[in-house]
């Protein structure tokens, strides 16, 4: 995260929005302090027989609108302040798209790339056992995040179920379908981005068929977004990249062919018929829609002036710095903020949870239809607020989200 403390950034965002909304400091204090934080240090037996102690966290930011929801990440740099910030941002993301959740986040400081599958399983099961007192299908429902996947979610579901003595599919989302997962979960974030881009093109009176897109990041979110922008909106995808570099083809790329090339070679670089470019060059390509779907803070005060896209759709969390936000807005570029644009993932997680609680499952067509309705309505609310307040889309989304959470806090009152 560099020198920026993400939790401090999250607090400053709430302070700024609080001033606009005229909130008293008491309420801002409630909004900026997580309701519950748990730090656990736990031993795990490694494959070579030695015992390693890992540190894990679970932070629950706010319960006002419902149970907490948020991912679990495995990364060497996981820290309490990072998890605090991410839990707060989850509260705003859920409120922006109208989900009856508060935000949570969890993580274990580890390097999953250096661990075997058996070590990851033992670590996961021990971590979940340690945080079990504060999670549950009606309390706090974890999900996948950085370097965690459907298999990790299956281990979590099994661990929790073994402790209570019966299967509890609703304890976690992002599971394989065979143990209570939902259709459409894998591409949910990308589909939400696609619906937001569609609405943005409409309000900006931009023709889809003549539009071009550049996508930074070719993991699950990036590659599915590129595919859906081409196949469902008819846009021409002219550039994509991954951590090794990028490719540019003004005549257009077929994301499926690029995906196959990456699967064979390990990178999108050197794709036949395309020119190799850097990740920095991709951001500055002349295109209709730019989708930063890789790392945080890639659009900064240093390069925002050179962004030539007409719409920036945040596929990643926090890819644009605060200073860059203002530069893009002043240039007339429409930025679709992460708490709106990439909320398709948590929305379909919500659908999965609802299905698990009912033991009644929906078709893929029904999932797509419900997600379309949620994202379209959320976009319309944020866009209308941005117009009415004469502000950017991120500020508008925060105004709506924070106001909704404050209303819930005030209506519920202070117990006892």
Confirm whether 331 is a catalytic residue: no
User: In this structure, is residue 210 part of a structural domain?
Assistant: yes
Same domain, 42 and 161: yes
Q: For the chain, how long is the longest CA-to-CA vector?
A: 67
Same domain, 74 and 112: yes
Same domain, 310 and 284: yes
User: In this structure, is residue 29 part of a structural domain?
Assistant: no
- Supply the pLDDT for residue 100: 97
Task: List the structure tokens of 40.
Answer: 């656990």
CA-closest candidate to residue 288, choices 233, 247, 246, 327 = 233
- The SS3 assignment for 160 reads helix
Helical H segments across 70-187, by residue range: 80-96, 117-131, 150-164
Burial 349-383 (b: 16+ CB within 10 A, else e): bbbbbebbeeeebbeeeebbebbbebbeebbebbb
pLDDT in tens, 238-287: 999 998 999 999 999 999 999 999 999 999 999 999 999 999 999 999 99
Cα 408–411–415 angle (5° rounding)?
100
Same domain, 213 and 79: no
Contacts of 331 (CB under 8 A, 6+ apart): 304, 305, 307
CATH number for the domain harbouring residue 209: 3.40.50.720
Determine the Cα–Cα distance for residues 215 and 222; give it in Å rounded to an integer.
6
pLDDT in tens, 103-113: 999 999 999 99
- The answer, yes or no, to whether residue 414 has pLDDT greater than 60, is yes
Residue 307, classified by CB atoms within 10 Å of its CB into exposed (0-12), middle (13-18) or buried (19+), is buried
Residue 132, classified by CB atoms within 10 Å of its CB into exposed (0-12), middle (13-18) or buried (19+), is middle
Out of 138, 154, 179, pick the residue that ends a domain.
179
Task: List the structure tokens of 334.
Answer: 């429409």
Out of 179, 198, 214, pick the residue that ends a domain.
179
Determine the Cα–Cα distance for residues 164 and 181; give it in Å rounded to an integer.
20
Contact (CB, 8 A) for 125 and 111: no
Same domain, 54 and 106: yes
- The answer, yes or no, to whether residue 127 has pLDDT greater than 70, is yes
Same domain, 228 and 142: no
Mean pLDDT in residue range 188-201 = 97
Task: List the structure tokens of 384.
Answer: 């209308």
User: In this structure, is residue 54 part of a structural domain?
Assistant: yes
User: In this structure, is residue 412 part of a structural domain?
Assistant: no
pLDDT in tens, 205-227: 999 999 999 999 998 899 999 99
Determine the Cα–Cα distance for residues 151 and 174; give it in Å rounded to an integer.
9
Name the average pLDDT for the chain.
94
Name the band, by pLDDT with cuts 50, 70 and 90, for residue 317: confident
Same domain, 196 and 174: no
Mean pLDDT in residue range 174-183 = 96
Out of 132, 162, 179, pick the residue that ends a domain.
179
> Residue 233's domain spans which residues?
188-341
CATH number for the domain harbouring residue 129: 3.40.50.10860
Percent of the chain's residues with pLDDT above 70: 99
Mean pLDDT in residue range 59-80 = 96
Task: List the structure tokens of 20.
Answer: 């606009």
Same domain, 203 and 233: yes
Same domain, 114 and 160: yes
Torsion angle, alpha carbons of 292, 295, 297, 299, to 10: -30
Determine the Cα–Cα distance for residues 312 and 329; give it in Å rounded to an integer.
11
User: In this structure, is residue 121 part of a structural domain?
Assistant: yes
- The answer, yes or no, to whether residue 381 has pLDDT greater than 90, is yes
Catalytic residue among 33, 52, 69, 105: 105
CA-closest candidate to residue 382, choices 367, 371, 396 = 396
- Supply the pLDDT for residue 366: 97
Same domain, 80 and 51: yes
Q: How far is CA 213 from CA 235, 287, 311, in A?
A: 7, 6, 9
User: In this structure, is residue 301 part of a structural domain?
Assistant: yes
- Supply the pLDDT for residue 3: 58
- Supply the pLDDT for residue 1: 41
CA-closest candidate to residue 185, choices 353, 315, 376 = 353
User: In this structure, is residue 144 part of a structural domain?
Assistant: yes
Same domain, 53 and 172: yes
Contacts of 407 (CB under 8 A, 6+ apart): none
User: In this structure, is residue 194 part of a structural domain?
Assistant: yes
Same domain, 161 and 82: yes
The helix, strand and coil proportions of the chain, stated in percent and rounded to the nearest 5, come to 50, 20, 35
Determine the Cα–Cα distance for residues 89 and 101; give it in Å rounded to an integer.
12
* Domains of the chain: total: 2
Q: How far is CA 141 from CA 155, 174, 357, in A?
A: 14, 11, 12
Task: List the structure tokens of 275.
Answer: 């020119």
- Supply the pLDDT for residue 255: 95
Strand order in the sheet with 275-277: 275-277, 245-248, 236-242, 212-216, 289-292, 311-313, 334-336
- Supply the pLDDT for residue 86: 92
């Amino acid at each position: 995260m560099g020198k920026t403390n993400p939790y401090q950034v999250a607090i400053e965002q709430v302070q700024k929005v609080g001033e606009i909304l005229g909130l008293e400091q008491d309420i801002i204090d409630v909004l900026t302090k997580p309701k519950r934080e748990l730090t656990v240090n736990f031993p795990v037996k490694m494959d070579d027989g030695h015992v390693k102690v890992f540190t894990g966290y679970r932070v629950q930011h706010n319960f006002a609108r419902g149970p907490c929801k948020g991912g679990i990440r495995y990364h060497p740099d996981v820290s309490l302040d990072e998890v605090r910030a991410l839990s707060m941002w989850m509260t705003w993301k859920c409120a922006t798209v109208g989900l009856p959740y508060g935000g949570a986040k969890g993580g274990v400081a580890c390097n999953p790339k250096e661990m075997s599958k058996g070590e990851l399983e033992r670590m996961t099961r021990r971590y979940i056992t340690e945080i079990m007192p504060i999670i549950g299908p009606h309390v706090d429902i974890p999900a996948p995040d950085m370097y965690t996947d459907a298999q990790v979610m299956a281990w979590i579901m099994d661990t929790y179920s073994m402790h209570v003595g019966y299967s509890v599919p609703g304890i976690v989302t992002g599971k394989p379908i065979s143990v209570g997962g939902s259709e459409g979960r894998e591409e949910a974030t990308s589909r939400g981005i696609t619906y937001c881009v569609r609405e943005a093109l409409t309000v900006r009176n931009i023709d889809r068929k003549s539009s071009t897109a550049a996508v930074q990041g070719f993991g699950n979110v990036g590659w599915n977004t590129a595919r859906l922008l081409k196949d469902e909106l008819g846009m021409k995808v002219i550039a994509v990249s991954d951590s090794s570099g990028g490719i540019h083809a003004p005549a257009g790329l077929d994301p499926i062919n690029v995906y196959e090339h990456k699967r064979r070679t390990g990178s999108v670089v050197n794709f036949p018929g395309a020119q190799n470019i850097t990740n920095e060059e991709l951001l500055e390509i002349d295109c209709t829609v730019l989708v930063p779907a890789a790392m945080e803070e890639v659009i900064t005060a240093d390069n925002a002036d050179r962004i030539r896209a007409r719409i920036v759709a945040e596929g990643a969390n926090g890819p644009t710095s605060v200073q860059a936000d203002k530069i893009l807005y002043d240039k007339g570029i429409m930025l679709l903020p992460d708490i709106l644009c990439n909320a398709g993932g948590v929305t379909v997680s919500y659908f999965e949870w609802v299905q698990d609680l009912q033991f009644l499952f929906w078709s893929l067509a029904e999932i797509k239809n419900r997600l379309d309705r949620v994202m379209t309505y959320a976009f319309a609310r944020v866009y209308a607020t941005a117009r009415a307040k004469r502000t950017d889309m991120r500020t508008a989304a925060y105004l709506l989200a924070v106001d909704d959470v404050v209303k819930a806090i005030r209506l519920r009152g202070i117990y006892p």
